[in-house]
Amino acid sequence: MNIGFMKYHPLTQFVFFLSVLSVTMLIMHPVFLVISLAAGSAYVLYSGGVRKFLRIFGMTAVLSILIIIINCLVSHGGITVITYLPDGNALTLEAIIFGFAAALLMSGVVNWFYSVNKILTSDRIIYLFGRFSPKLALLISMTLNFISRFRTHLSSVRAAQYALGRDVKNGKPLTRISNGIRIFSAMIQWSLENSVDTADSMKSRGYGLKKRTCFTLFRINARDILTIGITLFSDVYIITVFIAGRLDYSYYPYFEISQSDIFTISVYAVFALSCLLPLITDITEDVKWKYIQSKI
């Protein structure tokens, strides 16, 4: 079923994703990057299936190679010179390592944002931000929902144009360009009309009025409080150990990580547990559901 973490309160989900993404992007510790990528990839594989995992993996792999190559070409810091490029600049080991770290960061963020887009649906976003900023909540909701709807409508338009012999695969190069412009123009027109219709619809329903009441089925329970507590404890513990200097690392002028001790190993374990919370929740729910089915 894979709906364990999806049944949690939107605030719990928002706090979790904000915590994981913030630690991953702001600290950029090599071990944290590996843990974040591994946990995010495992959750994508379990919740989205092998096909979705391979699609994201292929995209991030290509982007990772580009990031590493570009960083080696533009960054020449570091004391460990491997060779010299044709333009005379040095290719250093530290530049390659930092490129790998940036690639890990990008890949981890992409995997986690797939889960964000799947779990934090439009109704949950409106619930979270609607009371504070209705316009911002509607804008975020429409933006996240627009990509999938755009792709679906584009497939329909291309299928209709293909039946008429006017797809981008039909005709000579100039004809294909003309067909592509026609399809693109139709999509732009659909996007604008859809935005206007959505705005008029929400306005007619009184969305954003100060005295307007909201009905919601979301209720915070004990498991939400426990999950938020574990997430916040993980953040506080990581920040404390980081400030204490037990998570020191550097990429330039030489690559170095502080020696592991009981504090660093414990903070790695705490962060790993925090990142694996959605996966543990989904697996637990699936095991319970299969056990109940076996008793029927």
Q: How confident is the model at residue 191 (pLDDT cuts 50, 70, 90)?
A: confident
CA distance 72 to 197: 48
The Cα–Cα gap between 127 and 134 comes to: 9
Task: Please state which of the ranges 4-18, 160-174, 241-255 shows the lowest mean pLDDT.
Answer: 160-174
- Read off the pLDDT of each residue in 253-267 and give the average, rounded to a whole number: 85
How far is the first Cα of the chain from the last one, in angstroms, to the nearest whole number? 17
Could you tell me the pLDDT band of residue 179, with boundaries at 50, 70 and 90? confident
Q: Looking at residues 129-147, what average pLDDT do you find?
A: 68
Model confidence band, residue 33 (pLDDT cutoffs 50, 70, 90)? very high
H/E stretch holding 150 reads helix 134-163
Q: Identify the weakest region by mean pLDDT among 47-61, 167-181, 224-238.
A: 167-181
DSSP annotation of 5 reads G
Q: How many angstroms separate the CA atoms of 14 and 156, rounded?
A: 34
What's the sign of the alpha-carbon dihedral 285, 107, 138, 129? positive
**CA proximity to 269, closest of 234, 245, 242, 239:** 234
> pLDDT of 102-134, one tens digit each?
999 999 999 999 898 888 887 787 778 766 666
pLDDT of 200 over the 80 cut: no
Q: Is residue 48 very low, low, confident or very high in pLDDT (cuts 50, 70, 90)?
A: confident
pLDDT of residue 145: 67
pLDDT over 50 at 198, yes or no: yes
Name the most confidently modeled range: 30-34, 88-92, 162-166, 190-194.
30-34
More confident residue, 198 or 85: 85
Q: In the predicted model, what is the mean pLDDT of residues 188-217?
A: 72
Q: Any idea what DSSP says for residue 164?
A: T
The predicted pLDDT at position 158 comes to 83
pLDDT of the residue at 215? 63
3-state secondary structure of 50: helix
Distance CA 268, CA 204 (A): 51
Average pLDDT (168-175) is 80
Q: Are 51 and 97 in contact, with CB atoms under 8 Å apart?
A: no
- Alpha-carbon distances, residue 89 vs 70, 86, 95, 165, 213 (angstroms): 14, 7, 12, 53, 64
CB-facing half-sphere around the CA of 153: CA atoms within 13 A: 16
Mean pLDDT, range 138-162, rounded to an integer: 75
Give the Cα separation of 223 and 84 in Å (integer).
56
> Per-residue confidence at 213, pLDDT binned at 50, 70, 90?
low
pLDDT of residue 1: 44
Element (DSSP H or E) covering residue 196: helix 173-204
Q: The tokens of 222 are what?
A: 């004990």
Cis amide prior to 253 (ω within 30 degrees): yes
Average model confidence (pLDDT) across the chain: 85
State pTM to two decimals: 0.76
Residues 141 and 167 sit within 8 Å (Cβ to Cβ): no
Q: What residues does each domain of the chain span? A: 5-130+218-289
CB of 107 within 8 A of CB of 37? Answer: yes
CA 205, CA 227: separation in Å to the nearest integer? 35
| Predicted pLDDT at 293 | 82
